[in-house]
Structure 1
Amino acid sequence: MIRVVLADDQELVRSGFAMILDAQPDIEVVAEAGDGRAAISAVREHDPDIVLLDIRMPDLDGIEAAKLVCAETRTRAIMLTTFDQDDYVYDALYAGASGFLLKDVRRDDLVHAVRVVAAGESLLAPTVTRRLIADITRNRPRAGTTAAERLSVLTERERETLRHLGRGLSNAEIAASMVVSEHTVKTHVSNVLAKLGIRDRVQAVIAAYETRLIELS
């Protein structure tokens, strides 16, 4: 069962999303919250798999809430907004979020997003999203260590895996490209995340662009 906390300052939005998700046999909404601080409290109390966070909330916004949730818990964050703006996507991803949805998302897409992120994946399949991340990371580079220093902790096969992750390939596609088993790919992916200190494939895509393993075509 996928356990979900919903956080949005609009009660109608919360209740609508809760109705959709609770109707699924494998999803349970365990708590709702109307602001960022209440969302953090709910996550700490219920230990959900997923928290859906509205970006614009009173007291503490969704971006700041996501930073705390992603840093302190195992819960994965999906951001919700009515504003389709690049800065929100950037801030959400760097806060540690694993997904980004507009509030007018279709019912099926909302359910799919929760299942995908709960399974440890991310919402980066569309090419437009990957290009957006590429543009953002190119224009706002990570401070601190150089690309070479960051990549030096990876083996050659792990670098190749990171490059494929940056292109949005699934484990099956990576396995076919590298001519290895999916189990081996999963091991490489786990090693990449651990060595780079990142939590999921979203962050891996960002890292692939920041280190210039992937360049804009």
Structure 2
Amino acid sequence: MTKKDVAMEEETPDQVVARASADVLRVVLADDHARMRGRIREALESGGCTVSAEAATAQEAVELAEEHRPDVVLLDIHMPGNGIWAAREIAGRLPGTPVVMLTQSAEEDDLFDSLRAGAAGYLLKDMDPRELPDALRGVLAGDGAMSPRMLTRVMDEFRGPTKRRFGRRSPAAARLSPREWEIMHLLSAGRSTDEVARELFVSPTTVRVHVSAVLKKLRVKDRESALRLLRGE
């Protein structure tokens, strides 16, 4: 280990921010699609960042993060080895190096699993790539980096608005996942299966699968019976 590596391990968060502000922001980029990595690299370099290394698998991301000690690691989720696993490993091995997920997945399970793994941000690939450099600098300054749609999911999880709008909380109903509550609330508001799918950016089949799971949990035969139970009717 070099003297520089030792010094970096001993840096405080304020020193990390100061160094990143003074120097070009160094990023390890992990995504299994080479063309996507190229587009992300171009956006980062146009915004004053430098990509220290690129990885195509979760294992490579962990190894390259340890080797290069970047300011930020930018991870895809659905790549060989699982980006959430990589986030957990990097957060444990390099606690001073923030990890930000950059993914196509708007699924709540991926969002909350990433945050539990230690990710400091969760960005969707449909964002304007020119905003990436500032988002990563914000993370180093102590801000969160999250696409607005996903921030709404986090706020809903803690506020629990869909759960409170139904009148009764039976032991069976309490087992519904946040996504199941969200779908049942939208259905109770008169949305069709296709409308719910469009609003949540999932397929109609996914909505039906979640509804089937709700029926099993509530031990009812149809959607209307489930909604009446959740409303306390």
* Residue pair 1:2, 1:118 contacting (<8 A) in 2 also: no
Partner of 1:83: 105
* Aligned Cα root-mean-square deviation (Å): 2.0
Partner of 1:3: 26
* Residue pair 2:31, 2:57 contacting (<8 A) in 1 also: yes
Partner of 1:98: 120
The correspondence for 1:57, drawn from 76, 79, 82, is: 79
Which runs of at least 4 in structure 1 moved beyond 3 Å after TM superposition? 128-131, 134-139
Partner of 1:163: none
Q: Normalized against structure 1, the TM-score is what?
A: 0.58
Go from structure 1 to structure 2 and tell me whether the alpha carbon gap of 1:8 and 1:19 turns closer, same or farther (over 3 Å shift).
same
Shift of 1:120: 2.4
* Whole-angstrom CA distance in 2 between matches of 1:17 and 1:125: 16
* Residue pair 1:90, 1:136 contacting (<8 A) in 2 also: no
Superposed counterparts of 1:6-85, under 5 Å: 6-25=29-48, 27-58=49-80, 60-73=81-94, 74-85=96-107
* Whole-angstrom CA distance in 2 between matches of 1:71 and 1:63: 12
Go from structure 1 to structure 2 and tell me whether the alpha carbon gap of 1:80 and 1:28 turns closer, same or farther (over 3 Å shift).
same
Partner of 1:173: none
* Residue pair 2:77, 2:83 contacting (<8 A) in 1 also: yes
* Residue pair 1:82, 1:104 contacting (<8 A) in 2 also: yes
User: How many residues are treated as equivalent by the alignment?
Assistant: 136
Superposed counterparts of 1:1-217, under 5 Å: 1-25=24-48, 27-58=49-80, 60-73=81-94, 74-123=96-145, 126=148, 129-136=150-157
* Residue pair 1:81, 1:101 contacting (<8 A) in 2 also: yes
1:103-141 alpha-carbon deviations (Å, 9 max, x no partner): 122022222211111222212595x655522443578xx
Larger Cα Rg: Structure 1 or Structure 2? 2
Go from structure 1 to structure 2 and tell me whether the alpha carbon gap of 1:33 and 1:123 turns closer, same or farther (over 3 Å shift).
same
1:44-103 alpha-carbon deviations (Å, 9 max, x no partner): 000001111000011x11101000111110211111211211111111111111111111
* Whole-angstrom CA distance in 2 between matches of 1:96 and 1:71: 8
The answer for unaligned runs of 5 or more in structure 1 is: 140-217
Go from structure 1 to structure 2 and tell me whether the alpha carbon gap of 1:83 and 1:72 turns closer, same or farther (over 3 Å shift).
same
* Residue pair 2:26, 2:51 contacting (<8 A) in 1 also: yes
Shift of 1:24: 2.6
Q: Which has the higher contact order (CA 8 A, sep 6+)?
A: 1
The answer for unaligned runs of 5 or more in structure 2 is: 1-23, 161-233
* Residue pair 2:123, 2:146 contacting (<8 A) in 1 also: no
* Whole-angstrom CA distance in 1 between matches of 2:91 and 2:158: 20
Q: Normalized against structure 2, the TM-score is what?
A: 0.54
* Residue pair 1:70, 1:76 contacting (<8 A) in 2 also: yes
Considering fraction of residues, name the structure with more helix: 2
Matched residue type, 1:4: V
Between the aligned residues of both structures, percent identity stands at: 39
Go from structure 1 to structure 2 and tell me whether the alpha carbon gap of 1:64 and 1:137 turns closer, same or farther (over 3 Å shift).
farther
